[in-house]
Amino acid sequence: MRKVALLIFMVIVAAGTAAATVYVRTQQSYRGYEGNEQFVDIPSGSSTKAIGDRLVEASVVRDPLTYRLALVLSGHARGLKAGEYRFDQAMTPLQVLEKIARGDVYSIAVTFPEGLTVAEMAAIAESHRLGTAAAFIAAATDKALVRTLDPLAQDLEGYLFPETYRVSRHTDGPALVRLMVNRFDHVFSPELRRGAEKHGLSVHQLVVLASLVEKETARADERPIVAAVYLNRFRIGMALQCDPTIIFALQRAGTYTGNLRRDDLALDSPYNTYRYPGLPPGPIAAPGKASLEAVVNPADVDYLYFVSRNDGSHEFAATLAQHNRNVQKYQVQYFRDRKAARSSH
């Protein structure tokens, strides 16, 4: 009997020691993987056992027993969330489970500023390793994605909404394009649609005009005024004479050098709004919400002209005579004065 009792006692002690060892491991930081980081992908619907197997296999948690005890201690057995998780430092099993319970999934922040073309957006996507620029550009030719919104769209230029997106590192060009189109559709509210109708504009015309406003000024206070200028010109059949439309045409042709020359104003392109009256065939960039709203809420002004003051702002005029005086002041005389100042030094 003594031998049996001693054996039972030794088993209890061993079990207690083992349990204590496992418990201590749930409190200890662990990192068994090599390299700077380790990713663990948890598919939707994964069981707690499957999640544990992935964490142990990735050497984020030491062993299955430690994981199971940590799961009990954490109270998160029913709250673990699917997604891809990034680990880049030693963590206790409890910290690992807390991270997964929070849904702290790994994502990449990709920012697309307002006023970019599809080609420029494609370069940004590629720089974040979200597929190739070519794949992004190819996906942006799928006009079917905006057919119900704009049946006249020839591609998705202007319909990829500019903002910061948080996406999985596995997101590719086509998926990102669809996400951006969906965001545009969400931002393009019923109020904007009604505003377009009030001004007798189709969705296509509104987005084209908004893209011109986006490229002409970055100042919030000027957007409604620039919008009014282009609407005024459009309504009287006057050529829009918008430099960014020519730059867009040159970029598409691969001949833009970074400077718009006088000879470029004669470019034979439907996007040349000096040569062809009316709106260009499509948007020339991605307008932000402020530019879309400026077109449906233009300033109540009779301006037909504007010229840069060379400080990011513009001088507006209602008549050609006024405009010519502004050009003389802010372009001709301004650059003469600068040239003279350089010469004096």
SS (H, E, C) the chain: CHHHHHHHHHHHHHHHHHHHHHHHHHHCCECCCCCCCEEEEECCCCCHHHHHHHHHHCCCCCCHHHHHHHHHHHCCCCCCCCEEEEECCCECHHHHHHHHHHCCCCCEEEECCCCCCHHHHHHHHHHCCCCCHHHHHHHCCCHHHHCCCCCCCCCCCCCCCCCEEEECCCCCHHHHHHHHHHHHHHHCCHHHHHHHHHCCCCHHHHHHHHHHHHHHCCCCCCHHHHHHHHHHHHHCCCCCCCHHHHHHHHHHHCCCCCCCCHHHHHCCCCCCCCCCCCCCCCCCCCCCHHHHHHHHCCCCCCCCEEEECCCCCEEEECCHHHHHHHHHHHHHHHHHHHHHHHHHC
pLDDT over 90 at 24, yes or no = no
Mean of the pLDDT values across residues 82-99?
Answer: 96
**Domain limits, the chain:** 26-102, 107-187
- What's the confidence (pLDDT) of residue 14? 43
Mean pLDDT over 314-319 rounds to: 96
Q: What is the per-residue pLDDT across 194-235, written as a single tens digit (0 to 9) for each?
A: 999 999 999 999 999 999 999 999 999 999 999 999 999 999
Q: What is the pLDDT of residue 290?
A: 97
For 142, phi then psi, to 5°, come to -80, 80
| CATH number for region 107-187 | 3.30.1490
More reliable by pLDDT, 112 or 25: 112
CB 298 within 8 A of CB 260: no
The dihedral through the CA atoms of 99, 100, 106, 109 has a sign that is negative
* Predicted local confidence at residue 241, as pLDDT: 94
Q: Is the pLDDT of residue 20 over 60?
A: no
What is the rounded distance in angstroms from the CA atom of residue 102 to the CA atom of residue 177?
A: 28
* Nearest-10 crossing angle of helices 64-74, 2-27: 70
Tell me what percent of the residues of the chain surpass a pLDDT of 70: 90
Q: CA 244, CA 273: separation in Å to the nearest integer? A: 9
Residues 265 and 307: their CA atoms lie apart, in Å, by: 17
Between residues 333 and 120, the one the model is more confident about: 120
Mean pLDDT of 12-25: 55
- Vertex 104: Cα angle to 103 and 110 (nearest 5): 120
* Residue 331, pLDDT score: 87
Q: Give the pLDDT of residue 288.
A: 97
Query: What tokens were used for 194?
Result: 């009604």
Mean model confidence pLDDT for the chain: 91
pLDDT over threshold 50, residue 11: no
Q: How far apart are CA 162 and CA 53, in angstroms?
A: 40
Q: Is the pLDDT of residue 17 over 90?
A: no
CATH 3.20.20.70 fits 26-102, yes or no: no
Domains 26-102 and 107-187 share a fold: yes
* Residue 173 · residue 131 · CB < 8 Å: yes
What sign does the CA torsion over 32, 38, 42, 43 have?
negative
Mean pLDDT, residues 159-177 taken together: 96
* CA count, 13 A, side-chain hemisphere, 20: 6
CB atoms within 10 A of CB 2: 6
pLDDT > 90: percent of the chain: 81
| Per-residue H/E/C for 198-220 | HCCCCHHHHHHHHHHHHHHCCCC
Q: Are 139 and 199 in contact (CB under 8 A)?
A: no
